[in-house]
Structure 1
Amino acid sequence: MQAANSAHGDEVDRIVRAWGQELPELDVAPMQVLSRVTRLARHLERARAEAFSAHGLEGWEFDVLSALRRAGEPYELSPGALVQQTLSTSGTTTNRIDRLTARGLVERRPDPNDRRGVKVHLLPPGAAAVDGALHTLMSHEQQMLSGFGDAERDALADSLRRLLLPLDTH
């Protein structure tokens, strides 16, 4: 892969130039942004997998545990809230809770406000795993963004937010 500051640009520049030669009538300008987002997503997925694995977690485990951790004291949510926050189905969430319970990372507790309800509670080993994974992940992500100043990072975040907002509402 070529360096971003080289005279010939990056791999996306090469791809866009090639399409421009092969199909000059087609506007491939969106590739300038979206192909880079795709490539960035692949790098981020690798960094996340590495961070989670270093703490004995898979991505889905991190998703569930982090939803519970972000909930604040007493670090518990209903299964329905976990479905919403992890964008998974009810059946998938039940299976995930079962597996995390078997690993001693969470437990089911009766919902004090609903006799038929259950809350999923984050246990100390689950909190330690998710906290460790998040620290490792943030180190990777800080490195990925190290070439940006605060204002540049904020501008990039704002631009990506504008791109995603209409897509996330569907």
Structure 2
Amino acid sequence: MTTANAKVGKENLLYRMGFLTRRWRQVLDGAFQSLGLTDAAWRPLLHLHHMGDSIRQKDLAASLGIEGPSLTRILDQLIARGLIERSEDASDRRAKLLTLAPRGRAMVTEIAGKVATLEHDLLNEFSEAEINQMSDYVERLEKRLQETRSRLKG
């Protein structure tokens, strides 16, 4: 790779990663349609699963990167479908706690199975060493991004 090509690659790397992420979400959206889930529905389920039960609604919104009112509409739909339960926080009655309902846990199991199959199909041509190296790179980028965000806030 020439110096000029290296510079172009570096300038486009984060753009390409963002594009890759959007395309991956499109693949997931297609896979989850058979479960009756849209992007707006499956993401909160997975985030809640990874964050654990009794998560404050505002923390889930922050994890998803969406505003509280937008999340409220989505959660209302998931609650109506019996996938999530909402309760008051005993320490702050204004705050709402979220928990996966039994149907939500079953749905997350189905989602995880589909994700595992898709990840296997996508990554099976890469060696474990390549995957570990890429994971390390992404972790370093996440750390640098967090440092940059902190610096810009301060």
Q: What is the match of residue 100 of structure 1?
A: 78
Aligned pair in 2 of structure 1 residues 43, 117: CA closer, same or farther (>3 Å)?
closer
Equivalent AA in structure 2 for residue 147 of structure 1 = E
Alignment of 1:1-170 (within 5 A): 27-30=7-10, 33=13, 37=17, 40-72=20-52, 75-169=53-147, 170=149
CA distance in 2, matches of 1:157, 1:165: 12
Instruction: Give the count of matched residue pairs.
Output: 144
Paired amino acid for 1:55: L
Q: Give me the whole-angstrom Cα distance separating, in 2, the residues matched to 1:161 and 1:130.
A: 25
Distance (Å, rounded) in 1 between the aligned partners of 2:80 and 2:117 = 30
> For the pair shown, which has the larger CA radius of gyration, 1 or 2?
1
Gaps of 5+ in 1: 1-23
For residue 168 of structure 1, report the CA deviation from its aligned partner: 4.3
Inter-CA distance 80–158: structure 2 relative to 1 (3 Å threshold): same
Which is richer in helix? 2
Corresponding residue SS for 2:126: coil
**Aligned match of 2:152:** none
Q: Summarize the Cα distance change of 1:42–1:79 in structure 2 as closer, same or farther, 3 Å threshold.
A: closer
8 Å contact kept, 1:56–1:129: no
Q: What percent of counterpart residues are identical?
A: 28
Write the distance in 2 (CA, Å) between the matches of 1:83 and 1:39. 23
> CA 1:64/1:158 → structure 2, altered by over 3 Å: closer, same or farther?
same
- Scaled by the length of structure 1, the TM-score of the pair is 0.70
Q: For 2:90 and 2:15, locate their aligned partners in 1 and report how far apart those are by CA, in whole Å.
A: 49
| 1:34, distance to aligned residue in structure 2 (A) | 5.1
RMSD: 2.6
- Classify 1:40/1:87 alpha carbon distance in 2 versus 1 (closer, same or farther; 3 Å): closer
